Chain A
Amino acid sequence: MKTCLVVDDSSVIRKVARRILEGLDFQISEAEDGEKALAACRQALPDAVLLDWNMPIMDGYEFLRNLRRMPGGDLPKVVFCTTENDVAHIARALHAGANEYIMKPFDKEIVTAKFQEVGLI
């Protein structure tokens, strides 16, 4: 079973994402900010990260830059999932090493399509 770390400061979004991804046969872990997500990745790298942008303590963009510098940190597929729905943010995310980008609001179809796109399904 593939693993996915859901990183979002909203417990509601984490719950919705968990339900969708468990339905796609992922084993889910959660983090509420970038720093906690990095700590989780140091313990065990997930196959995928579903990543919010705006979070307290460390945002998603900083998390991604740190993740990609970690040993093995290039391996997880990172899919942003954010309300930052403009080209400038998308371009920054891709430049920092994001594999895909979901603009909120999202649903099961969008998550499925994006995870298929990066070869996770």
Chain B
Amino acid sequence: MTPADYEYLRKMLKEKSGLVLSTDKQYLVESRLLPLARKANLPGIGELVAKMKAGSQSITTDVVEAMTTNETFFFRDKVPFDHFKDTILPSLLQARAARKSLRIWCAACSTGQEPYSLAMILKEMGTTVAGWRIEIVATDLSQEVLEKSKAGIFSQFEVQRGLPIQLLVKNFKQVGELWQLNPDIRSMVQFKQLNLLQDFSHLGAFDLIFCRNVLIYFDQDTKVAIFNRLAKLNEADGFLVLGAAETVVGLTDVYKPMPDKRGVYRPNPNRTAAAPPLAPAMGAGAAKAAAR
């Protein structure tokens, strides 16, 4: 890969997905894009770039997906799911007792393990949530991973990382060497394609937003803009859950960390003053402008 090809890819990825690649990530690009080049019967990344420059939308989409798709697993990091079960849900079930409905958003859900983990926890709660209307909306940039998510089919390797064996037996059916989630769990999650850089206000308000391990790939201005827009969709008494390596601290005051609950944030009551107006359709440039 020539320095010019790498520079083209860096700029294109930043513009289309917000992904920020430092100047030393050539190895990452090569490891993700060489298989894609082979799949497209192209000798190398140079030819892949040439196709994109010539206007091939399908190759461009494939490149963005290959670079932004991240491996995940059930109950990843465990602690956020303990917070969900022990702190967030009890609080929301009490606060919403009158209307008996909850809306949860898993932003950047990748292959679906996160929203399905939440669905399995809710199913385990049985009568506590009986009669409640609980919506789990799961979004990702990549159409390819969303298709995989919807099917709910996972390899033996995937179902062994983080998923307790009792939950595997209860909620999955063995299909040859693969494992498929039962329809009752699959039907609890709605999957939608979404680019976090673009307007997402049409999704409506959420009591809880899981937005984990995606903002780390964005630059600071884009992170701030996304936090501000998340806060506008988050109910005032709702929750935001971030990944272990992510925080709002030092970036924005639209959220406040929840004491003793690492990774859990609450909307700041004064957030309306801090949040900028919503842009109708945000690309990276618009997101930057909104953050200023």
Contact = CB atoms under 8 A, between A and B. Distances in A.
Contact of B160 (A87, A91, A110): A110
Given A86-B174, A103-B156, A113 B169 contact: no
Contact of B169 (A87, A102, A103): A87
B157 A110 contact: yes
Contacts of B73: 113
A113 B162 contact: yes
B160 A103 contact: yes
A85 B168 CA distance: 12
Contacts of B177: 85
A117 interface: yes
B164 interface: yes
A117 B164 contact: yes
Contact of A106 (B160, B162, B168): B160
A90 B161 contact: no
A43 interface: no
B127 interface: no
Given A86-B174, A87-B174, A102 B160 contact: yes
Give the interface size bracket for B toward A. Answer: 10 to 19
A26 interface: no
Contacts of A110: 157, 160-161
B161 A101 contact: no
Contacts of B165: 90, 94, 100-101, 114, 117
B41 interface: no
B78 A90 contact: no
Interface in B174-195: 174, 177
B173 to A, nearest CB: 8
B157 A90 contact: no
Contacts of A85: 156, 177
Contacts of B168: 90
Interface string A92-110: 0010000011110010011
Contacts of B94: none
Interface centre among B156, B160, B164, B168 (most CB of A within 10 A): B160
Interface in A65-121: 85-87, 90-91, 94, 100-103, 106, 109-110, 113-114, 116-117
17 contacts: A85-B177, A90-B165, A90-B168, A91-B169, A94-B165, A100-B164, A100-B165, A102-B160, A103-B156, A106-B160, A109-B161, A113-B73, A113-B162, A116-B78, A117-B162, A117-B164, A117-B165
Interface of A: 85-87, 90-91, 94, 100-103, 106, 109-110, 113-114, 116-117
For the complex of A and B, the 4 pairs showing the least CB-CB separation, nearest first, are A101-B165, A110-B160, A113-B161, A113-B162
